[in-house]
A and B are shown apart, each in its own frame.
Chain A
Amino acid sequence: MSASARTSARAASLNAGRVLTELIRDPAMLGMEMLLPVFFLFLTVVGYSRESLPRTWIVEAESSALAARPGLEEAMRAARHSDGRPAFELEAARDGDGPGAAAASRRAALVLRQGSDGSLVLEGDAMSKDYVAASNRIEELLDDLEPERAGGLRLVSAAPAFRSPASDFEAFVPGMMVFAVLLLIPQTALIVGRDSRRGALDRLSGAGMGAAAYVGGVALSQAAFALAQGVVLVALSLAIGYPFGPAPLAAAAGSLAILVLLGLGSVAQGLVVGAFAKSDSSAINVGSVVAMMQVFISGSFFSMPAPVVASIGHPGLASYAAIRAYDFVPATHAVDALRRAMLDGGSGAAGPVAAMTVLTLAYFAASAAFFRRRFMRPR
């Protein structure tokens, strides 16, 4: 190791100690970093059902709508969830005569109607999870019955790559963990914003601390918190009875590694946000927006459409591959990897973990570059 690298490593470790000491002594920051994750998991335990998911959807169907599509009624009655329960329970709706009893009492996921132009209308509350899931399933059945609906091409339909969550509880715990770790983004940005606002960056720079040493120091201290957060989150998940796949301890260890890696990715993004923040408040505001946006686009709680940035092949072909906006977010890959680790022993998690690693390194490199440009050199 060269002398300058040794000096830089020493400065980074001193800075890490400084940041860590300040954080540990700040009840608000400590609470945000350590108590919020606990609170989030507590919310999941009390807020989400452990009952099996998905439910059997009640569908009211007009007889004319079914008659116009031979085979649909049989396909719906035969459709099963992965655990063998029926997917649909069909009830009759009177043709063109308003909702039946199930729809009126909102028990029905949706109502199938025959449109005046001959189309099939799926009527219901489009914001309801049951409506979305049931209508997707009906569309799949229709694709099987009427391949020409997809332009003659059979839509690619893959079986889930890993065991699907069996309940809301199983589905949302990994998302909640990701959400908690993403809060390291505003927290890290706040540390940097505070140093920037009070002129500490000039003082540190005057003492010979470079951008890499500063970024490394903040990252090291926050990595310690990421590890502590991960341990707390995994231990709590075990304690509240999350079914960690076939080998719970190995799955828990894998989940911890994924959470720590996500923590590092969040710290790196926090540093990027902090490099542009002019004050504590702008740092925490922008950092919070970045974190919340990622909660949505990463699919932590529900899937979201995202614009395609680049693609190979043609939609509808098995070889089609698209890079979407959410692919640039470590949280997207973290949710994927975490669900695989927590539900299915981690099979297939290597890809998402590799993507997270690449993105984390890229964000760290970007943050060091931004710091060098904005702070740690003469203005």
Chain B
Amino acid sequence: MGPSLTLVDITKRYGEVVAVDSLGLEVRPGEVLGLLGPNGAGKTTTIGVICGLVAADSGRVLLDGVDLAGSAALRRTIGYCPQSLVVWDRLGCLEQLVFMARLYGASRADALRSGKALLAALGLEEKAGVQARRLSGGMQRRLNLALALVHGPRLAVLDEAEAGLDPQSRSLVRDYIRGLAGERTVLFTTHDMDEAQRIADRVAIVDGGRLLELDSPSALLGRYGEDGRSAPDLEYVFLKLTGRRLRE
């Protein structure tokens, strides 16, 4: 079973701008939780705080109740897939997966086994020896995701991992992420409400660095419906909560 993740009163400021404002959130063990919010809502900063890339001004991040601050070993049980493509152009797909797995401490044999399994699961089996620069954008996206998961993390943190994928790839990745549930805990961000509705057990909607709602998609649809009817979709709920004002 994946671990629980608890954010306690996280605040992060960049000068005058409050990116995350006293954010509290609990991701249940083995759950897939979608973190939704408009641009600038604080999603990526929150993820940065969880993964140790951003130092919060205050607050705590707990994994199974243990504070992540100062625990390098605990941080290594997190797999982080960044929003941007972070692949090494001139390394083969399997080569870079093995590199990352070994960096996390895996033996060469285990790294190879894990890398091959991930390539197969994400439809890149035939590209094992192909350098990343020769892959299509969608394949690079899948490789980007594989790099986050190759060391078998207990908590997967995926920042817009499906952005730019074609429907076929998106379906494959969606099924894969859904399949991680239970054994691993997954926290993902996306702007695709349909995507969130399909794969998330619960969604958290944030704006201005604050948590606005946290519940299952079906509960949110029921809660924000009108005239005794459910809301038509999650996007409707999202816009109702965050407004239609364009963000920077």
Find out whether the CB atom of A205 lies under 8 angstroms from the CB atom of B53: yes
A21 touching B78, Cβ below 8 Å: no
> Is B238 engaged at the interface, CB distance under 8 Å to the other chain?
no
The stretch that binds B, out of A103-111, A148-156, A196-204, is A196-204
B103 and A379 within 8 A (CB): no
On whether the beta carbons of A22 and B72 are closer than 8 Å, the reply is no
**Are B91 and A22 interface neighbours, CB within 8 A?**
yes
Q: Is B113 part of the contact surface with A, judged by Cβ < 8 Å?
A: no
Question: A11-B103, A18-B99, A25-B90 given as contacts; is B84 within 8 A of A206 (CB)?
Answer: no
User: For chain A, what secondary structure do more than half of its interface residues adopt (helix, strand, loop), or is it mixed?
Assistant: helix
Interchain CB contact under 8 A, A21 and B84: no
**What residue of chain A has the Cβ atom nearest to residue B69's Cβ?**
A378
Which residues from chain A contact B76 at a C-beta distance below 8 Å?
Answer: 207-208
Complex contact A206–B53 (CB within 8 A):
yes
Residues of B within 8 A of A182 (CB): none
Question: Which residue from chain B places its CB closest to the CB of A18 in the assembled complex?
Answer: B99
Contact with B along A368-379 (1 / 0, CB 8 A): 000000000111
- Bound complex: CA A199 to CA B131 (Å): 18
> Once the chains are docked, how many angstroms separate the CA of A65 from the CA of B169?
90
Q: In this assembly, does B95 line the interface, its C-beta being within 8 Å of a C-beta of chain A?
A: yes
For A349, the chain B residues whose CB sits under 8 A away are none
Residues of A in contact, count (CB < 8 Å): 23
B103 touches A208 (CB 8 A): yes
Q: Which residues of the partner chain A approach B84 to less than 8 Å between Cβ atoms?
A: 198-199
Q: Which of A7, A11, A18, A202 contacts B53 (CB 8 A)?
A: A202
Interface status of B221 (Cβ within 8 A of chain A): no
Q: Which residues of B contact A207 (CB under 8 A)?
A: 76, 100, 103-104, 151
Q: Complex: how many Å from CA A17 to CA B95?
A: 11
Chain A residues whose CB sits within 8 angstroms of the CB of B72 once the complex forms: 208
Q: In the complex, which residues of chain A have a beta carbon less than 8 angstroms from the beta carbon of B91? A: 18, 21-22
Chain A, Cβ-Cβ closest to B105 = A7
Counting chain B residues whose Cβ lies within 8 A of the other chain, the interface size class is: 20 to 34
For the complex, is A93 an interface residue (Cβ under 8 Å from B)?
no
Main secondary structure of the interface of B (DSSP, over half): loop
A199→B55 contact, CB < 8 A: no
Contacts of B131 in A (CB 8 A): 25
Q: Are B103 and A209 in contact (CB under 8 A)?
A: yes
Residues B52 and A14 in contact, CB atoms below 8 Å apart = no
Contact of B103 with A204 in the complex, beta carbons under 8 Å: yes
Q: For the complex, is A51 an interface residue (Cβ under 8 Å from B)? A: no
- In the bound complex, do residue A203 and residue B90 qualify as a contact, i.e. CB atoms below 8 Å apart? no
**In this assembly, does B212 line the interface, its C-beta being within 8 Å of a C-beta of chain A?**
no
Residue A26 at the B interface, CB < 8 A? Answer: yes
B90 touches A379 (CB 8 A): no
Binary contact track A82-110/B, C-beta < 8 Å → 1, others 0: 00000000000000000000000000000
CA distance A333 to B54 in the complex (A): 42
List the B side residues contacting A377 at CB < 8 Å. Answer: 55
Pairs A–B under 8 Å by Cβ, sample size 26: A17-B99, A18-B96, A18-B99, A21-B90, A21-B91, A22-B90, A25-B90, A25-B131, A26-B90, A198-B86, A199-B84, A202-B53, A202-B80, A203-B100, A204-B103, A206-B52, A207-B151, A208-B72, A209-B103, A377-B55, A378-B52, A378-B53, A378-B55, A379-B53, A379-B54, A379-B55
